[in-house]
Structure 1
Amino acid sequence: MEEVKENVRNTGISKKIRNIKNKGTDLSLRILAFIIAVIAWFIMSITQFPTINKTITGVHVDFSMNGTIAEDKGLAALNYKDLTVDVEIKGMNYEIGTYTENDLIATVNLDNVTKEGTYKLDIDVKSSHTTDRCTIVSVLPESIEVEFDRITQKTIDVTPEAPLISAEEGYTLKETSVSPKEISIGGPKNELDKIEKVSARISKSKKLSEDTPMQAEDLIFYDADGNKLDSSKFTFSKASEFNVNFVIYKKKVLNLSVDIGSTPDGFDKSSIPIKLSQDKISVITPHLDEPDEEDISLGTIPLSSIDLKRVFNFKIPLNTGEVNMSGNDSIAVSFDKKGYTSASFTLYADNIELIGTPSDFESEIDNEKIPNVVLYGPEDVISTLTDEEIYASVSLSDIKESGSYTKELMIYAKDRKNVWCFGSNEVQITVSKPRINESSESDIS
């Protein structure tokens, strides 16, 4: 019985050994078969298909200016964009049969780029494996057009552009400026040369009643003909770094007049037929709290200088900061002669009044009469006027010493408030100390 069990055990062990041997033989056969297949493929590649043509798509083109003449001369490519090419290659099947886009190197040939301009440049392709016998049959596209220029800087003034900003009623937009007032722009020299104007633009609409700064929304580049330029070609500061400043002035009306000076007591100044070339003008002022209107005197005209023929010119006086909007900086003052006339009269010494003689002096008129005194006034008044109605006064309040003095007369027609004397009329006056008689001297003794 024991002998039977031993035989069974030996039989099981023998089976396991045979299975292991069979598996080892099978693995060896598989490896051998693979090696034979590779050798067969290699032989077939060499004998049956020694060379093949293959097209590889999507090969990236490398654009580099390192070490080129273009780089040495400071040129830059303006319009180049990354691209890929399709390449047809030819070579041994066993060498190029597994090629992909990563096994090829495509570059742009910059050998002919020596100055500014637009060039048609070849695209060169080669294998990245230096030992492989790979021939480039075709490249699509085979060339690319690239523009080259120098990159420089240009500084130009910035002008405001705000077509929809205005002032409220009663105000005016005096001026608009930009700060900072200049901008530095980098870019191709040929493109920079086209820039004639740079505007800081504000496109929103608003009415203003006081000075207001606003942040620029955009920077616009223009050529000499006013055409917009492509700003993507330039490098420059952001538009938000520029402020457009609006200066607001208030509109104001000046009511103009002239004064009449050196008039006799009671004279009616309104009787003078004055004409102004403009009796009011428009101005603008930076003082926003001032009234809408203001009365302004141009100056004074002496009454004795008015003969109804002469024209007086006065410069328009303005307050600090005001701007005259009329276009004229002076006003002509003339007189309407219609209904007025003149006549010559004689002034007698008895009708001359000496005023203000110092108490310790005596005064005496040397002239008996003053002839050819010219008076102006309404025709109906002058025609009825007589010499006896002509009077004058002389002020002696400034007398300090005795002596002979020539004094100007203030001449007028008695009880006539609209008649005046033209020209200068003088009288000779003697001023002396009072005489003391003999009886007075004995009394004093």
Structure 2
Amino acid sequence: MSILKNITKRNIKEARSNAMLLLIAFVCAIASWFIIAMTKYPSDSKHISNIALSRDISGTAAADSGLSVIECNVDHISVSLDCSRTDYNRISSDSLKASIDFKNITTPGVYTLNIKVESTNDAEISNLNISPSTVRVELDNYETKAFVLKAKVPNISGGENKAINSADITCEPGEVNIKGPASKLASIAECYAVSNLEKTLDSSYSLNSDEYQLFSEDGTQISSDKLTFDPPIVNMNIPVLTQKTVKFVPQIVDAPSGFDTDCLNFTITPETAILATNNTETKLPDKIDLKLRISELDIGFSKDVLISNLLMGTNITNMSDTDTINISLNSEGLASRDLTVTNNNIHTTNAPHENYDYTVLTQQLLVKIVGPADIVNEVTAADLDVEVNLLGADDSMDQFPYAVTVSCSKYNNIWSVTSSTVNIKKTLKEGMTTQAAGSSNTTTTKTG
């Protein structure tokens, strides 16, 4: 029995010894493999993704020239590299720094530049393959520029008989400072403070802007990306105007006595305009006169008139979509005819001085008349009255030209489109002295 116990103890001791030897052998095998691997294969390959690409430009010639990175088309890169087995686990996306090689760039522009990668923990790397290996970079100077503000309130309108004129809306402050790339600032032609509020107004109103909108010279909207605005919002003051639809009416300013202006038929386009004012003391008219001279009204007459010129000097604003109106003579049924008037039918009136005689030197005058076709053909030169109204005439010279007025007393729907002058001669009346004539008063006379 004791012999059996001794044998069992010896077997257990031998088993323990064998297990220890086996463990030592295993460790030695691993160490041997590691030593052999490190000796025969000292380096290994590794692929690392999602390495952030730095846009830092400090310390470069570009930074010294005041340039900044405006846009870069790469955010992260990947690399494949070789490293020693001892550094293998030390190399990761956090231990590698990817940056842009800005070389010697000193001027704004768009460049394709190389990407460089380096270790930040002194781990040795080799056979570096970077993907992508280049980057497209836009460089420019950052500047600040002031722009005058205009207002835009597309969803705000006036109530009944009320209007809003965008040109009258003011911003406080009236300018905004925009900071951004110099090339982008240079492309801005107009800057608007915009409110998107929806509201109907019956009286003046103030509100804050929601955004800025930028436009180029050709009206293309410019993105506000990479731009900062100071102040970020502005106050907008909106005056509300009282408005009225007003009709245009032709007015003949020099119609001869007895002429029936109702015989003239005009087409006016547009016939009306919407006018407005924010001045409580300014009364909006019911009509606006389009002043015409009778000598303008030849067959085919057509004329454009600017509403802004008609409103000049008033507190009234044109709210219509157009500033131009057209007035034309309806010439259907009308005819024209040239007649020669002799000196006998040309007379002067309103002599400037009663001690002088005023004689018409012009022997004949060609006159063009217009009117209904059936009547024009009946008119003769003897039916025409050519008047030289000398009221207010400058007769400092003994001879001078002066305009004539042509009328037809026989027919009240015949008019002349002749705009001519005749020569007048001034002579001292018999028995009068120059001194006496100079002190005489103007009287109304009619001489043949």
Compute the TM-score of the two structures, normalised by the length of structure 2.
0.49
